Structure 1
Amino acid sequence: MVRISTLVGLGLVAAVSAHPGHDVKAEAAERAAALKGIRARGVNHCATQLNARGLEANNIARREQTLQKLRKARGLDGPLLKARDLSPLNETHHSDLAVDPTTDPSELFASGGSCVLAEDVTQGPYYVSGELIRDDLTEGQQGIDLYLDIQLIDSNTCEPLPDVYLDFWHSNATGVYSGVIAEGNGDSSDLSNLDSTFGRGLQRTDSLGVTAFHTLFPGHYIGRTPHIHVLSHPGGTKVNEENNTITGLYSTTSSYVGQLYFDQDLISAVRAVEPYDSNTVELTLNADDWILRQELDDDVDPIVEYVLLGESVEDGIFAWVSVVADSSVSKDVTPAAFLTEDGGVANENAWPGGGPGGLPSGFPTGVPPS
């Protein structure tokens, strides 16, 4: 029986090299090929159907209510700052929309970007199987609060996907992932990071395909712009209620994988704040990120819409995005590690980043049972 516990996270350490065994250009090529196989790209073609069913109106009302609740809890008022336009690879893409408390919510909270989940051989990288079902991924880490509203849409039917578990993982403020040991991922001699779980978790979508997370804005590492990994599990996934995770630790399946991104101005504003400013790794711009470039076309724009909760990023960020997945797909996933009753265990059949390849010697490993 697997028992999952939340353990002390690894301290903030700047990444010093790219993920070993992980070729960013190769992953970009894989995603480009996989995206061509998705019959319905993005959610633009679903707009009429979503509007007819009142789902867009529901999204606008929900996002407005959530924002007001977050602002009230933090004692914030005054003008809102909305960002991003339709030029996601430009260095600057703040919206020209003049936003204040009287702005029509339909202008402010309309759906914008959409992330398409597609086959991804590397699963990320750094996917860990067995993480907690929870909506708060912060675990006392330092960083800027980020609240994400996500709606999952079926690429075949344009209908929301209810009762689907979404797996999220991302690096901390200085580009370090929890749950894995690898050169270029913080202090690779500190094996305790296998047991850490910050920036990771799962949530189930509701009857309208919606779920939400509270996390921290991710940092960056060599070769990548800040991003968040998303993995959808097939409908009907069972829950291990005793352990607060889903079943199938060693037999995880997915309806594909994707990544969420942020506009460049927001990244720059965050990077000027502690502890993000302690990361000495050169920042890769959105325009230079190979994987992001493969995601973008007329219907696919995985850069989230957002507003600042207050007058600066330090007050927190509320963001929203549509995620599109093919509900008919179920593929095996090769995690980089497993979170077990005895803590984290690296998968000896995978590179530290995930996927086939095998581990170098010296890593704590475990072999999934047959």
Structure 2
Amino acid sequence: MVHLSAVVAIGLTALAGIVSAHPGHDVKAEAAERAAFLKNAPVHSRSLAQCASRLQRRGQQSRNVARRHMAVKNIRRRLGLQPTNHLLKARSDSALDTSHHSNLTGVDSSTDPDVLFGTDATCILGPEVTQGPYYVTGELVRENIAESQEGIPLYMDIQLINTNTCEPIPEIYMDLWHCNSTGVYSGVVASGNGNSDDETNLNTTFNRGVQKSNKEGVIQFQSNFPGHYTGRATHIHVLTHPANETKVLANGTISGLYTSHSSHVGQIFFDQDLISAVDEVAPYSTNTQELTANADDSILAEELDTIDPFMEYVYLGDDISDGIFAWITVGMDPTQDTTVTPAAYYTEEGGVENENSGAPGGGGSPPGGVPSGAAPTASAAPP
């Protein structure tokens, strides 16, 4: 187990031919595939350890600290928050321990930002072979994906680092999606995903969006903290698109509605104590789906032999309901290029199920006989 003190790095190396949406996939098989990759992959493709000193010399760490510190200050100012404590940072020696709460004392607005937002370690990377569940193409390029969903505000800072060059990766587009506070994904109608009789959910877009990394390889999203659903620990999905195959269309989406490619597919997790604190707050407390703890998630447990995919975070106020700021560094090989199969497409006519997705919730082919590679003419998703 690799111990991290602040920034976590997680590799998102997609394996061609074994990407699938879930539920409906073999979790044990996925865990075995991931273990095999970690055992056999060359070090440069699964580790940021060789990048630590180089990033430090180039001032990347200090810029990360300054960026995160300023982001938190600006969010707190905008929300009118004046926190006095509850700033969480320290990590447990075991990522599956229930408590990762900070052991720092006397933390206030004058605490050195390096203590809260700095890092002196990286971690081993691992593959992510689960595409879903419920990846939907055609989502808008936007930072705020919360829409009108109720829940605890979550502000995310995600940095992409090239494992081959140890450089930040600019101009990479990242899809990010997760379920809402009661464990329901937008854009998909399927058994086990909320009310499977509610066909209108196919046309919803909450908690989904796309962003492009800046010159520092940084992507920022605003959403709500995800809820949980039966069978998996609380998590967020991310998927990056090859820069040379991606362009923004006039309708505010990216190209590849029916021919989506990915450099990497991955999942990001949270500390169990943070999840437990969130679940005490409405509407999370009304979620009737069975909670799977981090320690009981077989895919996560397999990863933790080599990586630590948990976001670092601070409370924005003195109460968790005020919001959370979380960050993670993602190591990836941008030369990877894998075709992905969405559960649905979001078009100008609304959502269309993909019957070839190979998972519950799939169904439907590109509407109107649109040929492969064609772009939608407009998106009905809200801004």
TM range (shorter): 0.7 to 0.9
Q: How does 1:1-370 map to 2 (within 5 A)?
A: 20-36=23-39, 37=41, 39-80=44-85, 81-86=87-92, 87-98=94-105, 99-111=107-119, 116=125, 118-120=127-129, 122-298=130-306, 300-352=307-359, 363-366=363-366, 369-370=371-372
Identity across matched positions, percent: 53
Residues 1:197 and 1:42: Cα distance change in structure 2 (over 3 Å): farther
* CA distance in 2 between partners of 1:35 and 1:79 (Å): 42
Residues 1:209 and 1:307: Cα distance change in structure 2 (over 3 Å): same
Q: How many residues align?
A: 344
Runs of 4+ that moved beyond 6 A: 112-115
1:118 to partner: Cα distance: 3.1
Aligned partners of 1:132 and 1:244 also within 8 Å: yes
* CA distance in 2 between partners of 1:369 and 1:118 (Å): 32
* CA distance in 2 between partners of 1:283 and 1:20 (Å): 15
Aligned partners of 2:175 and 2:239 also within 8 Å: yes
Aligned partners of 1:286 and 1:292 also within 8 Å: yes
Residues 1:167 and 1:76: Cα distance change in structure 2 (over 3 Å): same
SS of the residue aligned with 1:259?
strand
* CA distance in 2 between partners of 1:117 and 1:216 (Å): 26
With the length of structure 2 as denominator, give the TM-score of the two structures: 0.84
* CA distance in 1 between partners of 2:46 and 2:36 (Å): 13
Encode CA deviations 1:72-117: one digit per residue, 9 max, x unaligned: 1111113242145132100122121222222211111014776957
* CA distance in 2 between partners of 1:65 and 1:304 (Å): 18
* CA distance in 2 between partners of 1:23 and 1:185 (Å): 18
Quick one: which amino acid aligns to residue 53 of structure 2? T
Larger mean Cα displacement after TM superposition, 336-345 or 166-175: 336-345
1:281 to partner: Cα distance: 1.8
Residues 1:135 and 1:116: Cα distance change in structure 2 (over 3 Å): farther
Where structure 2 has 5 or more consecutive residues not aligned to the other structure, the ranges are: 1-20, 373-383
* CA distance in 1 between partners of 2:317 and 2:124 (Å): 26
Encode CA deviations 1:235-254: one digit per residue, 9 max, x unaligned: 22332331111111111100
SS of the residue aligned with 1:135?
coil
Residues 1:20 and 1:168: Cα distance change in structure 2 (over 3 Å): closer
Residues 1:113 and 1:199: Cα distance change in structure 2 (over 3 Å): farther
With the length of structure 1 as denominator, give the TM-score of the two structures: 0.87
Residues 1:196 and 1:32: Cα distance change in structure 2 (over 3 Å): farther
* CA distance in 1 between partners of 2:122 and 2:200 (Å): 37
SS of the residue aligned with 1:82?
coil
* CA distance in 2 between partners of 1:19 and 1:213 (Å): 24
SS of the residue aligned with 1:240?
coil
1:366 to partner: Cα distance: 4.0
Encode CA deviations 1:286-341: one digit per residue, 9 max, x unaligned: 1111121122245x211000000011110100011001111111110111111112
Aligned partners of 1:19 and 1:182 also within 8 Å: no
* CA distance in 1 between partners of 2:351 and 2:33 (Å): 28
* CA distance in 2 between partners of 1:348 and 1:212 (Å): 32
SS of the residue aligned with 1:183?
coil
RMSD of Structure 2 on Structure 1 (CA): 2.1
Residues 1:170 and 1:116: Cα distance change in structure 2 (over 3 Å): farther
Aligned partners of 1:113 and 1:301 also within 8 Å: no
* CA distance in 2 between partners of 1:89 and 1:167 (Å): 27
* CA distance in 2 between partners of 1:249 and 1:265 (Å): 38
Quick one: which amino acid aligns to residue 289 of structure 2? V
SS of the residue aligned with 2:243?
coil
Quick one: which amino acid aligns to residue 98 of structure 2? E
Aligned partners of 1:114 and 1:303 also within 8 Å: no
